[in-house]
C-alpha cells in the first residue's frame, strides 16, 4: 500500500468547541498532504474495533468535562496500542482539553502515543507528527496561551452547507463546575472584520448557514471596548448575501442585553432559536456555582425574547445535584423549567471534575438522590417538549436537509434536518419522486408538521398529497460537487482512474 497517500482519522470526544477544533486539525492535516481515511477505501477497510478507522494517523481530540474522561482516553489508547503493533508506521496523537490538562502525563501512561498537543497550539500537529517520526520518540508541546487564533488555521468543514465560525475563545467567568477558564484561558475576541470575512468566505464556498461560536457570546467586544459588538455582528451577518441562516451559541444570561434581542428580532436571517444555559433555577445554587444572574433575570430574558420573537424555540443546559442542592433548590429548578417551556434541555447529573472549585465543595449530593432528581427533571422536560412540539402540528416548516440527522431515513423514505427554530424534523418524501427531484443535503424542503414527539417533529404532508416543496440551493450544489470529488478519489484509490491526489484530473475532450 506504499503508493497510497498517508491517511488520518480524528475522533472527537467533547463539546462543540472540540468539534470545531477537529475541523481545524483536519484542515492542517490536509494542508500537510494527508488524506481522510474515508477517501481511501483500501485503507479504511483495515478498520478495527479500536476506532482507528484504518488510518495511518489517529488523532484523539479529548474533552475533560465528560465523566471518567481520562479512564476512557486510556482505555481507547490501550486498544489502539495493539493496532499500532500490527500496522507499521501508524501514529497516534492526542489533543484537546485533557491533553492540555495532563500534558506529558499522557505519554508517561501511554508511551506508544506519538504526539500530544494542547488547546492553544493546534497548528503544531503536522510538525509534531513529523518530529516524532524522525526522532522515534513522543513529541509533546503544550502552550499556556494562544499563539495563533484557531480560526486563522486552515479548516476542513464537516459539512458543505453549514459552518461554525469562532468569534472568541476562552472565558472570563469562573463558574465553579467548569474547567474551561483553566484550560482555555481568558476570553480573546476576534475583530468583527475578521469574523465577517470568514463568514463571507464560507458563504462563497456554498454554505448557507453559519453558527457563531464562543463560550460566552454576549461578552463579545469587551476585549476591544465595544459592549454592543455582538448585536452589531448579528446585524452585519444580516447583510451578507446568500447567507440564509445565522445561529449562535452560547450566550450567558448575566451578560444578555436588550440590543441582542432586538438584533435577533430585526435581522431576518438570524434564526428564531436561542440556546441559553440555565444550570439551576435556585438562586442559592447559582450563587454557589458563581453564576451572577438569578432566576428572575433568566425568566425576564425569556419573556422578552418571546415578546419580540413569538416563535422562538428556547433550549438550555441544566445541572442536577450540584453540591449543596436541597430538594427545595431542585424544586426551584423544576419551577423555572415549567415556566420557561424549553423546546429541549441538555441535562447533566453533577459529577465532580478534578481541577474545578466545586469538586472540593462539601455537601456533595449522594448519587442515588441525584439520579432520582434527574429522572424527575427528564420526565417534566419531555412532557413540556412533547406538548410544545404537538402544538406545532398543522404548521408549515422550512427544513434545511442534513446529511446526517436521520439515521432511519433510508427505511422510512424521509429526509431530515432542522427547521428555522432548530427543531429536528423528519420529512416524508412523496412516493413517486424522481432521483433528480430528490432534495440533497443543503437544499430546503417545505412541508406541514403532522406529528410532534419530545425530541423531533414529523412532517409527512407529502403522503397525503399535500405540501411538499423542494428549493435547490447553492449549498445543495456544493454538497453534490463535494460528493462527486469523493467518488472520483475513491475510483482513483481502487485503480479505476489515474491517481491525481491534490491535482485536477485532466479529461480528454473536457
Ligand atoms: S460561562 Fe461558566 S460554564 Fe461557561 S465557559 Fe465560562 S466558566 Fe465555563
* Per-residue pLDDT reduced to its tens digit, 471-480: 999 999 988 8
pLDDT digits (tens, 9 = 90+) for 265-317: 999 999 999 999 999 999 999 999 999 999 999 999 999 999 999 999 999 99
Lowest-confidence region among 157-166, 303-312, 448-457: 157-166
- The answer to whether the annotation marks 237 as part of a ligand binding site is no
Q: What is the pLDDT of residue 139?
A: 84
**pLDDT for res 340:** 97
Look up residue 430 and give its three cell numbers. 412523496
- Residue 288 sits in the same domain as residue 312: yes
Is the same domain home to 14 and 56? yes
**Domain limit, last residue, from 390, 409, 427:** 390
Distance 240 CA to ligand 1 centre (A): 30
Average pLDDT, the chain: 88
Residue 360 CA to residue 352 CA, distance in Å, equals 8
Looking at the structure, do residues 214 and 131 belong to the same domain, yes or no?
Answer: no
**Range among 2-11, 185-194, 412-421 rated most confident:** 412-421
* Residues 208-221 as b or e (16 or more Cβ within 10 Å = b): bbbbbbbbbbbbbb
Q: Ligand 1: does its nearest atom lie under 6 Å from the Cβ of 249?
A: no
Q: Indicate if ligand 1 lies below 6 Å from the C-beta of 215.
A: yes
Chain segment 193-205, per-residue pLDDT in tens:
999 998 998 899 8
Whether residue 401 contacts residue 440, with contact meaning beta carbons closer than 8 Å, is answered with: yes
Residues 416 and 157: their CA atoms lie apart, in Å, by: 20
Residue 238 lies in a domain: yes
CB of 252 within 6 A of ligand 1: the answer is yes
Report d(CA 318, CA 63) in Å as an integer.
Answer: 19
Output the residue whose Cα is nearest ligand 1's atom 8: 178
Q: Give me Rg for the CA atoms of the chain.
A: 24
User: Using CA atoms, how far apart are residues 408 and 386, in angstroms rounded to an integer?
Assistant: 21
Q: Is residue 489 part of a domain?
A: no
Q: Tell me what pLDDT residue 505 has.
A: 33
Q: What pLDDT shows up at residue 147?
A: 55
Q: Is the CB of 173 under 6 A from ligand 1?
A: yes
Query: Are both 304 and 380 inside the same structural domain?
Result: yes
Kindly state if the Cβ of 44 falls inside 6 Å of ligand 1.
no
Output the CA 5–ligand 1 centroid distance in Å. 41
CA of 184 to the centre of ligand 1 (A): 11
With a 6 A CB cut-off, is 286 part of the ligand 1 pocket? Answer: no
Residue to probe by mutation, ligand 1, list 65, 169, 174, 180, most atoms within 8 Å of CB: 180
Query: Would the pLDDT of 428 be above 80?
Result: yes
DSSP percent split of the chain into helix, strand, coil, nearest 5? 40, 20, 40
pLDDT of 32 > 90? The answer is no
CB of 175 within 6 A of ligand 1: the answer is yes
The domain boundary residue, chosen from 364, 390, 416: 390
| Inter-residue contact 399 to 419 (CB < 8 Å) | yes
> What confidence tier does 159 reach under pLDDT thresholds 50, 70, 90?
confident
Share of the chain above pLDDT 70, in %: 91
Residue 152 scores a pLDDT above 80: no
Report how far ligand 1's centroid is from the alpha carbon of 80 (Å): 33
* All three cell numbers of 75: 482505555
Reply yes or no on whether the pLDDT at 506 is more than 50: no
At 156 the pLDDT is 57
Cite the beta strand spans of 227-378 per DSSP E.
245-249, 273-275, 313-320, 344-349
How many angstroms is it from 177 CA to the middle of ligand 1? 8
| Residue 97 in marked binding region | yes
Q: How far apart are CA 126 and CA 283, in angstroms?
A: 47
Q: What pLDDT was estimated at residue 144?
A: 65
Identify the CATH number of the domain in which residue 437 sits. 2.40.50
Residue 492 lies in a domain: no
Question: Does 326 share its domain with 291?
Answer: yes
Tell me the CA–centroid distance for residue 292 and ligand 1, in Å: 11
Q: How confident is the model at residue 1 (pLDDT cuts 50, 70, 90)?
A: very low
The CA distance from 374 to 69, in Å, is 21
DSSP string, 166-231: ESEES-S---TT--HHHHH-S-EEPPHHHHHHHHHHHHHTT--EEEEE-TTGGGTTGGGT-TTHHH
252, 230 contact by CB (below 8 A): no
Q: Are residues 64 and 136 in the same domain?
A: yes
Mean pLDDT (whole number) for 29-56 = 91
Atom nearest to 216 CA in ligand 1 = 1
337 or 67: which leads in pLDDT: 337
**Which residue's CA is the nearest one to ligand 1's atom 1?**
173
* Rounded distance from Cα 187 to ligand 1 centre (Å): 11
**Measuring CA to CA, how many Å separate 144 from each of 185, 190, 259?**
8, 19, 35
- Three-state SS for 163? strand
Task: Evaluate if residue 18 carries a pLDDT over 90.
Answer: no
Highest mean pLDDT among 81-90, 176-185, 372-381, 482-491: 372-381
pLDDT (tens digit per residue) in 53-64: 999 999 999 876
Q: How many domains does the chain have?
A: 3
Distance of CA 124 to the CA centre of its chain: 23
From 62-76, 149-163, 431-445, the region with the lowest mean pLDDT: 149-163
Q: Give the SS3 label for residue 154.
A: coil
Q: Is 63 annotated as a binding residue?
A: yes
- What DSSP state is assigned to residue 6? P
Q: H or E element: which one contains 203?
A: helix 192-204
Among 175, 253, 291, 317, residue to substitute to test ligand 1 (most atoms within 8 Å of Cβ): 175
From residue 257, alpha-carbon distances to 23, 207, 220, 337 in Å are 31, 29, 12, 22
Q: Tell me the pLDDT tens digit for each residue of 327-339.
A: 999 999 999 999 9
Q: Is 178 in the pocket of ligand 1 (CB under 6 A)?
A: yes
Find out whether the peptide bond into 250 is cis, omega within 30 degrees of 0.
yes
Q: Is 175 a known ligand-binding residue? A: yes
Which band of pLDDT confidence, cut at 50, 70 and 90, is reported for residue 134?
A: confident
Pair 332, 305 in one domain = yes
**In 3D, which of 129, 163, 161, 127 has the Cα closest to residue 147?**
127
Residue 283 sits in the same domain as residue 229: yes
Where does a domain end: 113, 141, 169? 141
Domain identity same for 119 and 233: no
CB atoms within 10 A of CB 156: 16
407 and 275, same domain (yes or no): no
Q: Residue 148: is its pLDDT beyond 80? A: no
* pLDDT over threshold 90, residue 169: no
The domain spanning residue 237 has which CATH number? Answer: 3.80.30.20
Higher-scoring residue by pLDDT: 481, 492? 481
Residue 416 or 138, more confident: 416
Q: Give residue-wise pLDDT tens across range 197-234.
A: 989 988 998 899 999 988 889 899 988 899 999 999 99
Match 489502539 to its residue by C-alpha cell.
Answer: 80
Centre of ligand 1 from the C-alpha of residue 218, in Å: 12
Residues 21 and 154 in one domain: no
Binding site membership of 106 for ligand 1 (Cβ less than 6 Å): no
Q: Which of 182, 252, 322 gets mutated to test ligand 1 (max ligand atoms within 8 A of its CB)?
A: 252
**In the numeric block, which cell numbers belong to residue 381?**
422536560
Same domain, 168 and 300: yes
Q: Give the position of cell 492535516.
A: 29
Segment among 17-26, 79-88, 143-152, 326-335 with least mean pLDDT = 143-152
pLDDT at position 222 is 87
The range of the structural domain enclosing residue 304 comes to: 150-390
CA 258 to CA 265: how far, in whole Å?
Answer: 11
Amino acid at each position: 500500500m506504499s503508493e497510497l497517500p498517508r491517511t488520518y482519522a480524528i475522533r472527537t470526544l467533547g463539546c462543540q468547541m472540540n468539534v470545531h477544533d477537529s475541523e481545524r486539525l483536519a484542515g492542517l492535516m490536509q494542508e500537510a498532504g494527508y488524506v481522510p481515511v474515508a477517501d481511501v477505501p483500501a485503507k479504511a477497510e483495515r478498520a478495527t474495533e479500536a476506532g482507528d478507522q484504518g488510518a495511518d494517523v489517529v488523532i484523539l481530540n479529548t474533552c475533560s468535562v465528560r465523566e471518567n474522561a481520562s479512564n476512557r482516553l486510556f482505555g481507547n489508547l490501550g486498544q489502539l496500542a495493539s493496532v499500532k503493533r500490527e500496522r507499521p508506521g501508524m501514529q497516534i496523537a492526542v489533543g484537546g482539553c485533557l491533553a492540555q490538562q495532563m500534558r506529558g502525563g499522557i505519554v508517561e501512561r501511554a508511551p506508544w502515543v506519538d504526539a500530544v498537543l494542547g488547546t492553544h497550539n493546534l497548528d503544531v500537529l503536522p510538525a509534531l507528527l513529523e518530529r516524532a517520526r524522525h526522532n522515534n520518540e513522543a513529541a509533546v508541546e503544550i502552550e499556556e496561551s494562544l499563539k495563533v487564533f484557531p480560526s486563522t488555521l486552515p479548516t476542513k468543514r464537516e459539512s458543505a452547507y453549514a459552518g461554525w465560525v469562532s468569534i472568541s475563545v476562552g472565558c472570563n467567568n469562573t463558574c465553579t463546575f467548569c474547567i474551561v477558564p483553566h484550560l482555555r484561558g481568558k476570553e480573546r475576541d476576534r475583530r468583527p472584520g475578521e469574523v465577517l470575512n470568514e463568514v463571507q468566505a464560507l458563504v462563497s464556498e456554498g454554505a448557507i448557514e453559519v453558527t457563531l461560536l464562543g463560550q460566552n457570546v454576549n461578552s463579545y467586544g469587551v476585549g476591544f471596548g465595544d459592549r454592543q459588538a455582538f448585536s452589531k455582528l448579528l446585524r452585519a451577518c444580516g447583510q451578507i448575501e446568500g447567507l440564509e441562516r445565522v445561529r449562535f451559541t452560547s450566550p450567558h444570561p448575566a451578560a444578555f442585553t436588550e440590543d441582542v434581542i432586538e438584533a435577533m428580532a430585526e435581522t431576518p436571517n438570524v434564526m428564531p432559536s436561542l440556546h441559553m444555559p440555565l444550570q439551576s433555577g435556585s438562586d442559592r445554587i447559582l450563587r454557589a456555582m458563581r453564576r451572577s444572574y438569578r432566576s428572575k433575570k433568566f425568566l425576564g430574558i425569556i419573556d422578552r425574547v418571546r415578546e419580540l420573537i413569538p416563535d422562538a424555540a428556547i433550549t438550555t443546559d441544566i445541572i442536577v445535584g450540584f453540591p449543596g442542592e436541597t430538594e427545595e433548590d431542585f424544586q426551584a429548578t423544576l419551577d423555572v423549567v415549567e415556566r420557561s417551556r424549553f423546546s429541549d434541555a441538555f441535562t447533566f447529573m453533577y459529577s465532580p471534575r478534578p481541577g474545578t472549585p466545586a469538586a472540593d465543595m462539601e455537601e456533595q449530593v449522594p448519587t442515588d438522590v441525584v439520579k432520582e432528581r434527574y429522572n424527575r427533571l427528564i420526565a417534566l422536560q419531555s412532557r413540556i417538549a412533547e406538548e410544545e412540539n404537538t402544538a406545532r402540528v398543522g404548521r408549515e416548516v422550512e427544513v434545511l436537509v442534513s446529511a446526517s440527522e436521520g439515521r432511519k431515513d433510508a427505511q422510512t423514505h424521509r429526509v431530515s434536518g432542522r427547521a428555522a427554530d432548530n427543531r429536528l424534523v423528519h420529512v416524508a418524501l412523496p412516493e413517486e419522486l424522481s432521483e433528480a427531484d430528490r432534495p440533497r443535503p443543503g437544499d430546503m424542503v417545505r412541508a406541514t408538521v403532522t406529528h410532534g414527539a419530545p425530541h423531533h417533529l414529523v412532517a409527512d404532508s407529502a403522503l397525503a398529497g399535500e405540501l411538499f416543496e423542494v428549493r435547490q440551493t447553492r449549498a445543495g450544489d456544493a454538497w453534490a460537487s463535494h460528493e462527486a470529488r469523493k467518488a472520483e478519489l475513491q475510483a482513483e484509490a481502487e485503480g479505476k482512474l489515474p491517481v491525481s491526489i491534490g491535482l485536477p484530473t485532466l479529461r480528454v475532450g473536457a
